[in-house]
Amino acid sequence: MEDVLDLYAAPADPQRPLVCFDELPYQLISEKRTPLAVTPGQVERYDYEYRREGTCNVFMTFAPHLGWRHAAVTERRTAIDFAGQMQWLVDEAFPQAERIQVVLDNLSTHTPAALYEAFPPEEARRIVEKLELHYTPKHGSWLNMVEIELGVMRGQCLDRRLGRLEQVCQEIAAWEQQRNAAQARVEWRFKSTDARMKLSHLYPSQS
């Protein structure tokens, strides 16, 4: 826990950018009946029945020091998909960085082994050497700042019925562009000193 909190407290280093990473499953839902549009004095009305159109996944990468985020919509969230995101992070998002500090949870696909599953050993090793993975504790994924961004995205962008993958991509792209233009940031206040006081039961007792 303190490992992640100390990362947040450290000053920004362009050569070692800090990135928070996670994913969000999303249910595709379409309307069975066309909603009635908004009219003066009347809100939009839609039928309670809907049609399930499958699921998709949203990978979110958030750089808190930069106020920058990127969301990638995929059909699945396998180890291969995770590996592709890490390759993109190294080659396209931060190609000039010496090393990228990545905060992520303990999902079984979030491992260097995923890269070796997806790529030849030489390519996997090249990517792994550019990554410095920092895992949140078990049951402590709330320590990952990207969880806050995912919550904002759910509330501002994915809070209605979207039945096609293309719709989800378009809505998220527009949301991302607006958030990045505003350089929206997370004001993180929870520090290691706070953890030692508020979560003292998690620390070994001192004799």
Kind and range of the H or E element at 79? helix 79-88
The model's pLDDT over 147-187, given as tens digits with 9 standing for 90+, comes to 999 999 999 999 888 888 999 999 999 999 999 999 999 98
- Hey, what are 53's tokens? 């159109």
Place 191 in a pLDDT band, splitting at 50, 70 and 90.
Answer: confident
Report pLDDT digits (tens) over 25-39: 999 987 665 654 666
Give the residue among 98, 50, 56, 104 at the shortest CA–CA distance from 77: 56
pLDDT for position 207: 45
Instruction: Indicate the pairing of strand 18-31 with strand 50-63.
Output: antiparallel
Domain 2-37+44-202 adopts which CATH fold?
Answer: Nucleotidyltransferase; domain 5 (3.30.420)
132 pairs with which residues across the strands? 101
pLDDT digits (tens, 9 = 90+) for 45-60: 555 566 777 899 999 9
- With contact defined as beta carbons under 8 Å apart, do 151 and 158 qualify? no
Kindly tell me if the per-residue pLDDT of 143 is higher than 50. yes
Domain coordinates in residue numbering, the chain = 2-37+44-202
The confidence score (pLDDT) of residue 29 equals 83
Tens of pLDDT, residues 70-112: 999 999 999 999 999 999 999 999 999 999 999 999 999 999 9
